[in-house]
């Protein structure tokens, strides 16, 4: 079992470079199997979710090479085999194989996905989209079966009842080879949607409107390989900006697309964080007299749910009372009891998080309940006096590329300890 040990209270300075977007990579990799020749992805983050996807691809018959954040996927020998359990269950984004496989082969057998538990995240919208395109979908003992008739998928007009990144991408994957035109209404607008559409278009798809609430897709008969560079990870960027604001004595965050985190940066400015923003980097200056702000998460371009937890420790450093409401995942509150264990004046009232600052944090033994809660605890540990030990670090490794090395380069005293090796 691995754990992270942090000796906190040390000011941080220097440079940190943001990796490729996790939430893009986990959709782009399944999308690549739809091509009939090799696809090269540049800037792939070296995270556990990516390694899990590689294992799934290899089971399906793909040849994959991955080094220095560059991945080459040769899908020439991919076959549609049942994937009811194993790696598929541990990975939320494995549901993208549904859209990719039913789009490529007209059939798919995929186990219901796992990932971080943040409350109900039903795949009803995905199923509704597949059925609108003509697939027959059944759930048999937790395994989703998708089948089509001899004519395959057919384009249709699909209205998303709720804005959903996952469902928008999945329907887009299924629709690119469907006969005729598909229109997705009330589509999610996140940068990752545009990234996936860009890859598919480079592969020969005909997608227009990605990034707006209406995406139009003209079906094509075949898709070919290409080279594609993944966008920077806006959630990783926000995480390190929050850390730099909390403990930085001059930190520059590189490889950032400002427009992707505009709402987050606006909130930092409201708190009183001083920054110099340039074309693809942000200098975070030492900031004093921080004040608390209220946060309400909402779909893009609003404040991202994934950045609610990483911002929390910074709010505890500010003066006043802050209220945080997560309208996307109301159960995203498990980081609060762990912060209280570290001395935070914080509580959960129903779906509302209440934070009183400034709270002086001290080291403690804490447990990460999910990926972004883990990021929150890393920031809190770096802020705290004394030693913090974080357990369940597998969640953190799912989404943060070389987090220990990046933070060590800023001057943090942080290490990963494998307890089995230590014995």
Burial 329-342 (b: 16+ CB within 10 A, else e): bbebbbbbebbbbb
116 is catalytic: yes
First to last CA, the chain: 11
The shares of helix, strand and coil residues in the chain, as percent rounded to the nearest 5, are 35, 30, 35
**Residue 36 known to bind ligand:** no
Residue matched to tokens 């598909």: 182
**Residue 92 known to bind ligand:** yes
Cα distance between residue 174 and residue 126, in whole Å = 10
**Residue 231 known to bind ligand:** no
Closest-CA residue to 226 (of 34, 17, 418, 39): 39
**Residue 23 known to bind ligand:** yes
Cα distance between residue 46 and residue 44, in whole Å = 6
Catalytic residue among 116, 173, 207, 217: 116
Cα distance between residue 415 and residue 408, in whole Å = 8
Q: Which helix (H) or strand (E) holds 184?
A: strand 181-185
Question: Beta strand 12-17 with 248-254: parallel, antiparallel or unpaired?
Answer: parallel
**Residue 353 known to bind ligand:** no
**Residue 234 known to bind ligand:** no
Burial 204-228 (b: 16+ CB within 10 A, else e): bbebebbeeeebbbebbeebebbeb
Residue 150 burial (CB < 10 Å; 0-12/13-18/19+)?
A: exposed
Give the three-class secondary structure for 404. helix
**Residue 123 known to bind ligand:** yes
Sheet holding 63-67, edge to edge: 63-67, 70-74, 39-42, 227-229
**Residue 356 known to bind ligand:** no
In sequence order, the 6+-apart residues with CB closer than 8 A to the CB of 400 are 47, 236, 239, 371, 375
**Residue 173 known to bind ligand:** no
**Residue 372 known to bind ligand:** no
Residues at the binding site for UDP-N-acetyl-alpha-D-glucosamine are 92, 121-125, 306, 328
Residues at the binding site are 22-23, 92, 121-125, 306, 328
Residues at the binding site for phosphoenolpyruvate are 22-23
- So which residues are the catalytic ones? 116
């Amino acid at each position: 079992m691995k754990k992270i040990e942090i000796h906190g209270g040390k000011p941080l300075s220097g440079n940190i470079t943001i990796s490729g977007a996790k939430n893009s990579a986990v959709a782009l990799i399944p999308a690549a199997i739809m091509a009939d020749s090799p696809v090269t992805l540049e800037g792939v983050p070296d995270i556990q979710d990516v390694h899990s996807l590689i294992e799934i691809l290899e089971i399906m018959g793909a040849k994959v090479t991955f080094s220095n954040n560059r991945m080459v996927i040769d899908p020439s020998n991919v076959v549609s085999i049942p994937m009811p359990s194993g790696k598929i269950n541990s990975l939320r984004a494995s549901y993208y194989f549904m859209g990719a496989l039913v789009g490529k082969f007209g059939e798919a057998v995929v186990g219901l996905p796992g990932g971080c538990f943040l409350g109900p995240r039903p795949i009803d919208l995905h199923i509704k989209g597949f059925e609108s395109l003509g697939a027959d979908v059944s759930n048999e003992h937790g395994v989703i079966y998708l089948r089509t008739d001899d004519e395959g998928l057919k384009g249709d007009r699909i209205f998303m009842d709720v804005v959903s990144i996952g469902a928008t991408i999945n329907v887009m994957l299924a629709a690119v080879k469907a006969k005729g035109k598909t229109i997705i209404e009330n589509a999610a607008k996140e940068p990752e949607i545009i990234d996936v559409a860009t890859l598919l278009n480079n592969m020969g798809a005909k997608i227009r409107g990605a990034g707006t609430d209406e995406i139009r897709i003209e079906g094509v008969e075949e898709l070919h390989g290409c080279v594609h560079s993944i966008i920077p990870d806006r959630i990783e960027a926000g995480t390190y900006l929050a850390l730099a604001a909390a403990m930085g004595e001059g930190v520059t965050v590189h490889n950032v697309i400002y427009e992707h985190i505009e709402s987050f940066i606006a909130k930092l400015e409201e708190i009183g964080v001083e920054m110099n923003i340039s074309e693809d980097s942000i200098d975070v200056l030492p900031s004093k007299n921080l004040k608390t702000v209220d946060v309400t998460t909402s779909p893009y371009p609003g404040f991202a749910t994934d950045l609610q937890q990483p911002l929390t420790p910074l709010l505890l450093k500010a003066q006043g009372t802050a209220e945080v409401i997560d309208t996307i995942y109301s159960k995203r509150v498990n980081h609060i009891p762990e912060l209280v264990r570290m001395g935070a004046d914080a509580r959960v009232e129903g779906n509302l998080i209440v934070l009183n600052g400034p709270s002086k944090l001290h080291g403690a033994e804490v447990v990460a309940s999910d990926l972004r809660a883990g990021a929150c605890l890393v920031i809190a540990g770096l802020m705290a006096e004394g030693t913090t030990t974080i357990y369940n670090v597998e969640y953190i490794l799912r989404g943060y590329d070389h987090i220990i090395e990046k933070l060590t380069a800023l001057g943090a005293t942080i290490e990963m300890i494998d307890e089995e090796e230590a014995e």
